[in-house]
Amino acid sequence: MSEQNDSSLLYLWEYRTLYLGPISELSPVNQGASSLLIGIEGPFELVVQNEKKITTRSALIPAGGQIELDSFGKSIAMCYLDPLGVDFSALRKTMQSKCKDIFFDSEFEKSNIEKLLNIKLNALEPAQAYRILIDDILPADAYNETLNQVSPEVKEVIAIIKREPLLNHSNDELAERVGLSGDKLQRLFKSCTGIPIRRYRLWYRLFVTANLMACGMTLTDAALQTGFSDSSHFNRTFRSMLGMKPSFVLRRNNEVKIFAGGDIGVHAGDTDSTA
């Protein structure tokens, strides 16, 4: 019988990110991307918009959602979903309860806990973990159906930001490149993703920075290379969007294993590397 993994795991994929492990004290957060939270070792508590408290083992948070989270020291799965809001739209149909803009109590909660615990306890390779995520946890049929309804202009803006993450394109410049007015692009982008273009750019820069750190670069060097003015700017952005200090999640030691690549499927790449 193989030894069970005790380390926290961080998987960095092009369209999604998955963290499995305990969390530090979480400050109030304004989500940079929609996320699926699963209490793999027990219930967690959410404070929604500084008001309502919810105790559950599964929750779906929209991009821009305002929450505070307490997992009572137990491991949790935090899956940050695709930027187009397609995963969110598909998963929303599986949730049985709602409070303000937060959905919770997945009808597949027990199965999701088992699948995510398997990833955590066996420290699966990124390609294996990603296959479980898209085959068993995210509703693939609903994903493909919803993806076809997403505005092609928004898809193109996201592609531009990914191709040119260091450039601070103005809203008008991006609008001109996709053939829309600036105001219409702003409305359309936020309607699809839940956040403004500028915030998505910062979110994607966090992802690129984390990937560079997974490849061995220091936080300061990675932050500067991805367009942050300094490591403090990166730290503030990370904490405002994720609620945690980056050092807690991105430290490279025996307590945290970081994986990059391993994406598979029609909307992902096929590279595979481990940090």
Separation in Å, CA 36 to CA 103, 184, 215: 10, 29, 26
Please tell us whether the domain made up of 152-243 is placed in CATH 1.10.579.10. no
pTM: 0.85
Cα angle value 38/137/197 (rounded, 5°): 80
Distances (CA, A) of 154 to 171, 194, 271: 12, 12, 25
| CATH of region 8-147+252-274 | 2.60.120.10
* pLDDT tier at 104, thresholds 50, 70, 90: very high
Q: What is the pLDDT of residues 149-197, one digit of tens each?
A: 778 999 999 999 999 988 889 999 999 999 999 999 999 999 888 889 9
Question: 175: part of which helix (H) or strand (E)?
Answer: helix 171-178
Q: Which amino acid is at 163?
A: R
Backbone angles phi and psi of 66, in degrees to 5: -105, 115
Radius of gyration (C-alpha) of the chain in whole angstroms? 18
Residue 7: Cβ within 10 Å count? 15
Q: Which of 86-90, 185-189, 209-213, 240-244 has the lowest mean pLDDT?
A: 240-244
- Domain ranges (residues) in the chain: 8-147+252-274, 152-243
* pLDDT tens by residue, 33-52: 899 999 999 999 998 877 78
Helix (H), strand (E) counts: the chain: 11, 13
| Residue 264 pLDDT > 60 | no
Average pLDDT over residues 53-61: 95
pLDDT of residue 11: 92
All residues at 6 or more sequence positions from 114 whose CB lies less than 8 Å from its CB, including other chains = none
C-alpha 235, offset from chain centre: 17
Round the average pLDDT of the chain to a whole number and report it.
Answer: 85
